[in-house]
Amino acid sequence: MRLTHVVRAGVAVAAAVTAALAFPALASAHVTVNPNTAVQGGYTKVTFRVPNERDDASTTKVEIAIPTDKPIASVSLKPVQGWTAATETAKLATPVKTEGGAELTEAVSKITWTADANSAIKPHQFQEFDVSLGPLPQVDQIVFKALQTYSSGEVVRWIDEPAAGAEAEHPAPVLKLSKKTDTAAAAATTSAGPAVNAADSSASSSSSSDGTAIGLGIAGLVLGLAGLIVGVLAYRRSPSPSA
């Protein structure tokens, strides 16, 4: 076995391992809601993170459906430079009482962000859209079905709801809701305000994601280097061919 063959084999091993480790991160590049947990009855700020998954088209429009079977009385949007935001409302089958005692007969059912000519999400980029929500309903989770429109005319439907034991091909963003455990915790959530809570959680989520990606990359390089060293040692120990 020639040394050049050993080196090539080691490089191939490194490339294969790195690709295998990176695949889960690439496969999970879909529309998400961050943070993905909140408290029932409270207010929170969530961020819808939208990555561009195409190499030849830009994302020009993002639509998020807000369920109205358990309506959210207050839905506020943070402006995004270069994007126009619009909301749609729907009549409620059964009016609900707000915290102030008023009767709510309709609620926001959809949010649409549309990019101007220079602000579309380009390949290998992502954009974040902030929304303040509350009070959150008394349910275990909220599924925000999303549509992502590309400049090519393609529409990707992130609408698959979570199912036990199955990985969805186009999972919808899901916000898990927990019950209030005590009055102090609920008061802290409300007084802290949506911007503070969500900003901290979003930063933590982003940091964790970045750390995972770096760790996977380092692991791939280490394994590849180990394969190369083993190959070189095997080469040195192999008997020399007779003249």
pLDDT tens column, 66-115: 999 999 999 999 999 999 999 999 999 888 887 777 888 999 999 999 99
Average pLDDT over residues 119-146: 97
Q: Residue 200's pLDDT band (boundaries 50, 70, 90)?
A: very low
pLDDT mean across residues, the chain: 78
Cα–Cα dist 194/72, whole Å: 15
How is residue 227 written in tokens? 């394969």
Question: Residue 128 is inside which H or E element, if any?
Answer: strand 126-134
- Asked whether 116 and 110 are in contact (CB, 8 A), the reply is no
Helix axes 194-237, 3-27, angle to 10 degrees: 160
Q: Which of 32, 127, 33, 29 is nearest to 82 (CA)?
A: 127
Provide the β-strand partners of residue 141. Answer: 176
Tell whether the model's pLDDT for residue 14 goes beyond 60: no
The answer to pTM > 0.85 is no
Most confident range (mean pLDDT) of 10-19, 24-33, 61-70, 157-166 is 61-70
Contacts of 9 (CB under 8 A, 6+ apart): 227, 228, 231
Helix residue ranges, H only, the chain: 3-27, 183-192, 194-237
Cα separation, 36 vs 52, in Å, equals 20
Q: Are 191 and 43 a contacting pair, CB within 8 Å? A: no
39, amino acid identity: V
